[in-house]
Structure 1
């Protein structure tokens, strides 16, 4: 989505899907298109800070007992191989939010949007290294529950994380009614958190 010659940080964006489906993903699927709008917004927000953005398209459309975790783990390894030593953030929409929560402890920054969260996911949720996270959910979402997002926030806070939660905007699962607000919140959080993580990494390197 966005590359810089001298990147200071990078964000991997994860799209949504279904509970069970072996259908290949396609750029035409709504969850993929919606997630690409988030990715484009983050790319714009992080342009001046030289924050690159990658978009992962899963091999299959379904969660299928955690298949997206394998794809996302592979993608994170690629990001770190191509951009060694820089902070990395995750933004996950819907099923991508579920995936991002499972991998949050391996990155520096986390944003979820309309995340699909099951009770069984919570033991695997750990804070990003920055200790900060942003969780977004519309009040009128009938596909994934805002309660799941609130439970994930509580789990992160129990581990000492500073979690901002916005579940107060009247929006559906597509998050299009207030898309400018969602995009602004997600972009600002990732830029600010990764900027701080970049400065911290630079300071550690100078010791």
Structure 2
């Protein structure tokens, strides 16, 4: 159900899947898109549909924990260069979430372009962690906003749409900038996250619940964090 914002001339950016009477935390999911495209996402929105299994998994894993779960609504299907439209809408969704739930810690979960948006807005005061799924991480993408945040990047090593090396490079740079960051490469994983789908879902959901303080990190994610904590080693692990 969309959250109404009477001050806005456009549709609200926040769509809720679950609210709570006394929220203690929130999870916001951001789907993928295109590099360019000013038209709004269509009703048959395949990138949005691909995130539904992750939404359902997060809802199940946080049941009864007073965790608000929602999705960001994009005005455009593309990133659109310096406009960074998906990031602008992600910030709007976070602002709307703050009005609804107050200053609760938020974990962002983003796929592809949504992963880039999640990383870009991680400096927002509510954000405590980011889980990026095959995120779009161009060379030289800023990382200073990730300082003090927890970041887990999951990327298939057979991805031909976004570069797995972009994730590993960003994780290392984010750690150097003061983030608690790591990357996990899924052997045989593709961009659509259809190969080894169960592994994608379990690692993503387990990382979310760990960031919410409910569980330890999944084994390979925890190992990646430990490896990155050793001087001279990369915060990257293979699964």
Superposition TM-score tier, normalisation by shorter sequence: 0.7 to 0.9
Secondary structure at the residue paired with 1:104? coil
Query: TM (normalized to structure 1)?
Result: 0.87
Task: Write the distance in 1 (CA, Å) between the matches of 2:42 and 2:206.
Answer: 29
Q: Distance in 1 between matches of 2:196 and 2:67?
A: 24
Relative contact order: is structure 1 or structure 2 higher (C-alpha 8 Å, sep ≥ 6)? Answer: 1
Instruction: For residues 115-171 of structure 1, give each alpha carbon's deviation from its aligned partner in whole angstroms, at most 9, with x where no partner exists.
Output: 0111142x2453264x42111001111111101111110111102322232113311
What is aligned with 1:37?
Answer: 53
More moved, 160-169 vs 29-38: 160-169
Distance 2:92 2:70 in 1: 13
The whole-number CA distance in structure 2 between the counterparts of 1:40 and 1:81 is 24
**1:127 lines up with 2:146 in the alignment:** yes
Q: Trace 1:1-207 onto structure 2 (pairs within 5 A).
A: 1-65=17-81, 66-106=84-124, 107-121=127-141, 123-127=142-146, 129=148, 131-195=149-213
Question: What SS does the corresponding residue of 2:145 show, helix, strand or coil?
Answer: coil
Unaligned runs of 5+ in 1: 197-207
Structure 1 pair 125/182, CA: closer, same or farther in 2 (3 Å)?
farther
Partner-residue secondary structure (3-state), 1:48: coil
Distance 1:189 1:49 in 2: 16
What SS is found at the alignment partner of 2:153? strand
Provide the C-alpha distance between the structure 2 equivalents of 1:83 and 1:58, rounded to a whole number of angstroms: 21
Deviation at 1:182, TM superposition (A): 1.4
Using the size of structure 2 for normalisation, the TM-score is 0.76
CA distance, structure 1, for counterparts of residue 66 and residue 194 of structure 2: 27
Structure 2 contact 147–177 (Cα < 8 Å) conserved: no
Where in structure 1 do 4 or more consecutive aligned residues deviate above 3 Å?
A: none
Q: Distance in 2 between matches of 1:67 and 1:8?
A: 29
Please tell me whether Structure 1 or Structure 2 has the larger radius of gyration of its CA atoms. 2
CA distance in 2, matches of 1:117, 1:62: 15
Alignment coverage as a number of residue pairs:
194
C-alpha contact (below 8 Å) 2:111/2:132 kept by paired residues: yes
Residue segments in structure 2 that go unaligned for 5+ positions in a row: 1-16, 215-239
CA RMSD of aligned residues (A): 1.7
